[in-house]
């Protein structure tokens, strides 16, 4: 086993000046023990949203004020940390300026410009973070993540540039190269480079996956995800009352929770760690001594449960066999990502697909698909844009208790699907009923434990 540990700090962790002492203490603690930390940092909280908004301001030619605002925000934060690093940040603002000018000239936001502009959030935060640590006396090297993570080519340009997947096999060359740099390493979450060296993004909230990719490449001892809650809970503690902290989770439980909507981990973050059998520990930057949640091959949440939800889904129901592959390709190229599919053998109903609709996507209609696919049989599809999927992940006995309690028929879901092997019940309701139904179910499971 190597002596690397990956420490990923999310947007709210890096955006609070008082958290930086904690971050420096953690890094120093590892270095003193001979463990080599690699920090994977997100952009400051909300900056990726501001950069996405900047894309549209660039298109409209009204971007200079927005760039000035981003400048003030980052320079102001650096000042709060006692840093005076305007010349170090300036080249990144110049990239923003050039890229915005190009968007305006090209009269379109290409996926490649999108990636180059939004990537600047992580370039800025890591520049500030590396300077802070150096000033705090921690030997620190800033490394560009685009030299560590390379993405697979994807023919669909939107996914290629904004939802890239990277190679994560063990990489002794990178490991040796980074090991030659002294002290701690600071690098960016969320960004990578493609085979041509162009900047790509791993998808919103993708820094967790960067940490997991890098951990697997370096065969790290542990991947720590530092965030704004004290670990993974039975459900989102900010939206559901009475949630229970989960000290341990197996990889497959954590993977299911992340894939089905538990925002605390990016959907793709578990697999790379699992394949290399590297524990993931979810910890709180505001409460660093709390043990958090450990996700590993020897951990299990056998008596517990997870209740996760995706409040905005678009479903498509296929009344008969049509060219599903063409529809799927078309939706993928439009940026829709499938969360789950139920087929007729599972549902005893006509074939159906369930699709995750990105929040910035307009409502989908059969007519749109018909035009895109030049297929007029498509208007027979049933599309619903306002559905939520609530998933209860638990042991067989918990699932049976819930089945017996009668709560599922009280909820009268639009659809109900059980996956007995995984111990998951999927419940589809209208979006507007998502939170109340999730709370009812959570209360019921807790009282049945």
Closer to Mg ion by CB, 205 or 271: give it: 205
Choices 10-18, 248-256, 321-329, 425-433; region in contact with ligand ADP by CB under 6 A? 10-18
CB of 220 to Mg ion, least distance (A): 19
**DSSP state, residue 84:** -
User: Cα dist. 357→25, 272, 369, 427, 438 in Å?
Assistant: 41, 25, 14, 17, 20
Per-residue string for binding with ligand ASP, 106-135, x by CB under 6 A?
---------------x--------------
Contacts of residue 121, Cβ cutoff 8 Å, sequence gap at least 6: 42, 43, 44, 47, 48, 50, 51, 190
Per-residue string for binding with ligand ASP, 162-191, x by CB under 6 A?
---------------------------xx-
Could you tell me the two tokens for 17?
Answer: 């000046």
Per-residue string for binding with ligand ADP, 35-54, x by CB under 6 A?
-------x------------
* Nearest CA among 10, 420, 399 for reference residue 204: 10
Q: Which does 189 bind (CB under 5 to 8 A by kind): ligand ASP, Mg ion, ligand ADP, none?
A: ligand ASP
CA 298 to chain centre: 24
Closer to ligand ADP by CB, 175 or 243: give it: 243
Contact 215, 39 (CB under 8 A): no
Interface with ligand ASP (CB under 6 A), residue from 57, 126, 140, 207: 207
Q: Which does 164 bind (CB under 5 to 8 A by kind): Mg ion, ligand ASP, ligand ADP, none?
A: none
Choices 3-11, 103-111, 368-376, 411-419; region in contact with Mg ion by CB under 5 A? 3-11
171 binds Mg ion (CB under 5 A): no
279 binds ligand ASP (CB under 6 A): no
Could you tell me the two tokens for 52?
Answer: 């996405």
* Nearest CA among 327, 301, 313, 328 for reference residue 385: 313
Closer to ligand ASP by CB, 121 or 311: give it: 121
Closer to Mg ion by CB, 10 or 111: give it: 10
- Angle at which helix 396-405 crosses helix 434-448, to 10 degrees, equals 110
| 238: β partners | none
Contact 145, 189 (CB under 8 A): yes
Choices 58-66, 200-208, 286-294, 363-371; region in contact with ligand ASP by CB under 6 A? 200-208
Cα angle value 53/55/61 (rounded, 5°)? 105
122 binds Mg ion (CB under 5 A): no
167-206 binders of ligand ADP (CB under 6 A): 205
CB of 29 to ligand ASP, least distance (A): 24
336 binds ligand ASP (CB under 6 A): no
264 binds ligand ADP (CB under 6 A): yes
Choices 70-78, 149-157, 205-213, 337-345; region in contact with ligand ASP by CB under 6 A? 205-213
Taking CB atoms, the residue at the shortest distance from ligand ADP is 10
Closer to ligand ADP by CB, 195 or 241: give it: 241
Instruction: Give the integer Cα–Cα distance in Å for 243 and 441.
Output: 12
The phi and psi torsions of 219 (rounded to 5 degrees) equal 50, 50
What number of chain residues touch ligand ADP (CB under 6 A)?
18
CB of 189 to ligand ADP, least distance (A): 9
* Nearest CA among 260, 160, 148 for reference residue 212: 148
Radius of gyration, alpha carbons of the chain = 23
User: Cα dist. 383→261, 309, 353, 358, 442 in Å?
Assistant: 21, 20, 10, 15, 29
Interface with ligand ASP (CB under 6 A), residue from 42, 187, 296, 299: 42
Closer to ligand ASP by CB, 190 or 426: give it: 190
Contacts of residue 194, Cβ cutoff 8 Å, sequence gap at least 6: 150, 151, 153, 160, 161, 164, 200
Closer to ligand ADP by CB, 37 or 267: give it: 267
In the sheet with 4-9, reading across from the earlier edge strand, the strands are 140-142, 184-188, 36-41, 4-9, 222-227, 280-284, 293-295, 248-249
20 binds ligand ADP (CB under 6 A): no
Contact 393, 442 (CB under 8 A): no
183-212 binders of Mg ion (CB under 5 A): 205
229 binds ligand ADP (CB under 6 A): yes
230 binds ligand ASP (CB under 6 A): no
Catalog residues that contact ligand ADP under the rule CB under 6 A: 10-13, 42, 205, 227-229, 232-233, 235-238, 262-264
Catalog residues that contact ligand ASP under the rule CB under 6 A: 10-11, 42-43, 48, 121, 189-190, 204-207
């Amino acid at each position: 086993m190597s002596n690397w540990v990956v420490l990923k700090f999310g947007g709210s962790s890096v955006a609070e000046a008082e958290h930086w002492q904690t971050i420096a203490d953690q890094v120093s603690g590892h270095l003193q023990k001979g463990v080599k930390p690699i920090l994977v940092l997100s952009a400051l909280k909300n900056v990726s949203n501001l950069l996405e908004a900047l894309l549209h301001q660039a298109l409209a030619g009204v971007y200079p004020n927005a760039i000035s605002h981003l400048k003030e925000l980052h320079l102001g934060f650096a000042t709060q940390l006692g840093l005076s690093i305007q010349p170090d940040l300036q080249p990144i603002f110049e990239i923003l300026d050039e890229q915005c000018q190009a968007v305006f000239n090209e009269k379109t936001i290409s996926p490649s410009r999108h990636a180059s502009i939004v990537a600047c959030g992580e370039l800025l935060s890591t520049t500030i973070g590396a300077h802070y640590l150096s000033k705090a006396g921690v030997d620190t090297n800033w490394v560009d993540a685009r030299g560590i993570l390379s993405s697979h080519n994807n023919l669909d340009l939107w996914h290629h540039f904004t939802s890239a997947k990277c190679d994560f096999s063990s990489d002794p060359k990178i490991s040796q190269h980074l090991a030659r740099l002294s002290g701690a390493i600071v690098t960016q979450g969320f960004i990578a480079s493609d085979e041509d060296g162009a900047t790509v993004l791993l998808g919103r909230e993708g820094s967790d996956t960067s940490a997991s990719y890098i951990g697997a490449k370096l065969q790290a001892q542990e991947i720590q995800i530092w965030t704004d809650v004290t670990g993974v809970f039975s459900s989102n503690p900010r939206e559901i009352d009475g949630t229970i902290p989960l000290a341990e989770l197996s990889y497959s439980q954590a993977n299911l929770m992340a894939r089905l909507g538990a925002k605390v981990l990016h959907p793709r973050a578990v697999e790379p760690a699992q394949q290399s059998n590297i524990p993931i520990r979810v910890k709180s930057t505001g409460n660093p001594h709390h043990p958090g949640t450990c996700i590993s091959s020897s951990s299990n949440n056998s008596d517990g449960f997870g209740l996760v939800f995706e409040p905005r889904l678009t479903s498509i129901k296929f009344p008969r066999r049509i060219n599903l592959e063409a529809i799927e390709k078309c939706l993928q190229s439009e940026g829709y990502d499938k969360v789950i599919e139920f087929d007729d053998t599972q549902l005893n109903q006509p074939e159906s697909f369930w699709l995750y609709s990105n929040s910035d996507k307009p409502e989908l209609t059969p007519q749109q698909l018909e035009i895109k696919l030049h297929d007029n049989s498509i208007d027979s599809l049933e599309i619903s844009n306002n559905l939520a999927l609530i998933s209860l992940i638990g042991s067989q006995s918990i699932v049976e208790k819930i089945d017996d309690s009668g709560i599922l028929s009280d909820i009268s879901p639009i659809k109900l699907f059980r996956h007995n092997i995984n111990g998951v019940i999927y419940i589809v309701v209208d979006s507007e009923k998502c939170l109340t139904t999730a709370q009812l179910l959570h209360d019921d499971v807790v009282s049945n434990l």
